[in-house]
Structure 1
């Protein structure tokens, strides 16, 4: 049993690394097994088709992330009772685990977030995969935000979440855009600096829609 588990991990690690660099369509099962240094038949034995390997790559870290984020959300809700949780703590609970894992979790986590950045912008894969793995969690966070901003329009909250998702995608994309734009003053790899600024920035964005706008009769 131990050998089988180790083989599966080798295949998943290799697939994660290659998907992060080449994308889903740029990687074959044979390339994955060559990177993992295992018999090609073992990929089919353990997982099936390439889609199944990709699903397994997505699931193993999504489960960890979602568990950590829900725990942080539940903690800040409990601390605030009987009042709603503060908005900035909800945003922190949503973003902190991602940034912490990317910053301190090793190369595997960086590869995973590179895949997330790719598929979140992919017209074919993005909607399906992000819906499957992250929408239930996103809706739980949006419910918590609505509880602390009950007068806000739900439509506005969904748009704010959309912008938050875009900010995270750009952060994880590794384009070095901000490093070049700032002439090195800001480094895209400095995720501690990102977290320090992202939470107040996103919180202010949501708070701009805290009250329903005046409707013209």
Structure 2
């Protein structure tokens, strides 16, 4: 905010605030961008990259589509921006959880402990984050299963935290062949992505006994189940 000096009769100065026009404009722009990201996230999570146009997003927000054309070269650029917005948050949370876990256990990590730091932290984000985060979860599942360009996005945003988990698993199972640890992670992330997709298939298969959006139930059993798998293939 800019301050303007105003003369006083005693020769000193007082400071009065000039109207913060730029700040208000910046706030309005930031609010509009958040609305665009939220709308695009919801639409992309339901219909995928190729099922959504910039006009669809503009219509949902209530702005003219030329505004989106001004900020984004095409819908893939918007998609990437939407994906990046939350990717850093979940990656940082899991990295901190893994660091905190290793600090707590020192040289004695367990497979399940490492997996809980990685998986439970991520699931908690979606449990506590509301519908926006659940839309992002579905978006992440789409990206993870799109070889043409999804792998590049996953590499860019998540390789450091995945390799941090791998390092802890190696420490927990020093005798396990390295390829088995990577295969184990492959199966873990596959199960996580299917869970985040919330397809509803398990609801039908179980006759309503299980619900695909019940992330709390998934959190209760996933790390334990996956830890047993790791121990089995590494024995």
CA contact (8 A) 1:153 1:209 kept: no
Q: Distance in 2 between matches of 1:7 and 1:206?
A: 46
CA contact (8 A) 1:99 1:195 kept: yes
Partner of 1:140: 164
2:33 maps to 1:8: yes
Q: Distance in 1 between matches of 2:98 and 2:72?
A: 33
SS of the equivalent of 1:208 reads: helix
Partner of 1:66: 91
2:80 maps to 1:55: yes
Partner of 2:153: 129
Equivalences for 1:70-85 in 2 at 5 Å? Answer: 70-81=95-106, 83-85=107-109
CA contact (8 A) 1:73 1:93 kept: yes
Q: Distance in 2 between matches of 1:58 and 1:110?
A: 13
1:125 deviates by: 2.9
1:102 deviates by: 2.0
CA contact (8 A) 2:44 2:139 kept: yes
Q: More deviation in 132-141 or 161-170?
A: 132-141
1:57-105 CA distance string (max 9 Å, x none): 1111111101110111011000012x13222121011111221222221
Partner of 1:194: 218
Q: More deviation in 96-105 or 20-29?
A: 96-105
The structure that is strand-richer by fraction is: 2
- TM-score normalised by L of structure 2: 0.84
Structure number with bigger Rg: 2
Q: Distance in 1 between matches of 2:116 and 2:63?
A: 41
Partner of 1:209: 233
Partner of 1:162: 186
Q: Distance in 1 between matches of 2:157 and 2:72?
A: 18
1:45 deviates by: 3.1
SS of the equivalent of 2:73 reads: coil
Name the structure, 1 or 2, with higher relative contact order (CA <8 Å, separation 6+): 1
CA contact (8 A) 1:7 1:38 kept: no
Q: Distance in 2 between matches of 1:124 and 1:147?
A: 34
- TM-score normalised by L of structure 1: 0.91
Q: More deviation in 42-51 or 31-40?
A: 42-51
2:206 maps to 1:182: yes
Partner of 1:42: 67
2:150 maps to 1:98: no
